[in-house]
């Protein structure tokens, strides 16, 4: 399958999906969201794949949603399409009948971090920066960020982390339980390869059955949260604080939020 904004390689029961917009920090525009949704739905129906590794081309995992897209997608239909693709890719990712591994280098922020948190195993290099930083532009997490943060750290801590929107290093994120492994710079690839080898030499069908049992019980909640994130994001997009957050980001200055 040929894509413009992502790459997919499949061999020996392993698939590797790479975000492929390194010149813009692998930020996700509408086309990338559509291609991710299509690719993950394709993988969902591919019984030959038992491991999926998700990573970014270049020196970054993903900076999240493309800010330029947020500025130009003012039409309600545009935003409806964005949230539709996000919902499709998250539901496909969560239901994949394979072990999913996020291999993070550089940074994983916003929607990029949400997708990383949606993986079964998260590996980050020591120089990485991790942030659920929607709050900085007056938005709420999407990509099921609420769901995945809550699953990892519980509701009270998830609220505090989302409200703060702080940039974390891998050790901080590991201590919180947000990621599973942090490795030296340049070692994520070899470490993930070792994990893949270990999983593929294990009784992986039993492991995948456990995943299916646990995830199927949570699927209704995930679906509900995705719907609430979509409607909540529509409301936030209309606020003065969101417009100020975007403007401040582009102008590289501190935000002046007013709670409006």
List per-block mean pLDDT (blocks of 10 residues) for the chain, which spans 260 residues.
93 97 95 96 93 97 82 66 94 98 96 98 97 92 97 97 96 97 96 98 98 98 97 90 87 89
Assign 183 to helix, strand or coil: strand
Specify the DSSP element, H or E, that contains 227.
helix 204-237
Strand ranges, E, within 23-163: 51-56, 99-104, 107-109, 121-125, 129-131
pTM: predicted TM-score of the whole model, two decimal places: 0.94
Beta strands 129-131; 181-183: pairing state: unpaired
């Amino acid at each position: 399958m040929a894509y413009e904004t992502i790459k997919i390689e499949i061999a020996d029961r392993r698939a590797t999906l790479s975000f492929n917009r390194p010149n813009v920090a692998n930020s996700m525009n509408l086309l990338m969201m559509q291609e991710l949704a299509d690719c993950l739905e394709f993988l969902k129906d591919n019984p030959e794949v038992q491991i999926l590794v998700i990573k970014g081309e270049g020196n970054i995992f993903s900076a999240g949603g493309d800010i330029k897209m947020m500025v130009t997608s003012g039409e309600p239909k545009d935003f409806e399409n964005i949230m539709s693709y996000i919902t499709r890719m998250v539901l496909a990712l969560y239901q994949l009948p394979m072990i999913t591994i996020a291999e993070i280098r550089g940074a994983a922020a916003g929607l990029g971090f949400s997708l990383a948190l949606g993986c079964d195993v998260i590996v980050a290099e020591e120089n990485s920066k991790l942030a659920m930083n929607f709050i900085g532009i007056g938005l709420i997490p999407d990509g099921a960020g609420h769901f995945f943060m809550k699953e990892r750290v519980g509701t009270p801590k998830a609220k505090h982390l989302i409200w703060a929107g702080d940039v974390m290093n891998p050790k901080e994120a590991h201590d919180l339980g947000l990621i599973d492994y942090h490795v030296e710079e340049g070692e994520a690839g070899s470490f993930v390869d070792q994990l893949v080898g270990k999983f593929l030499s294990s009784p992986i069908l039993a492991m995948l059955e456990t995943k299916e049992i646990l995830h199927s019980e949570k699927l209704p909640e995930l679906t509900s949260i995705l719907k609430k994130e979509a409607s909540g994001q529509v409301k936030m997009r209309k606020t003065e604080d969101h417009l100020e957050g975007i403007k401040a980001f582009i102008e590289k200055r501190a935000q002046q939020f007013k709670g409006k």
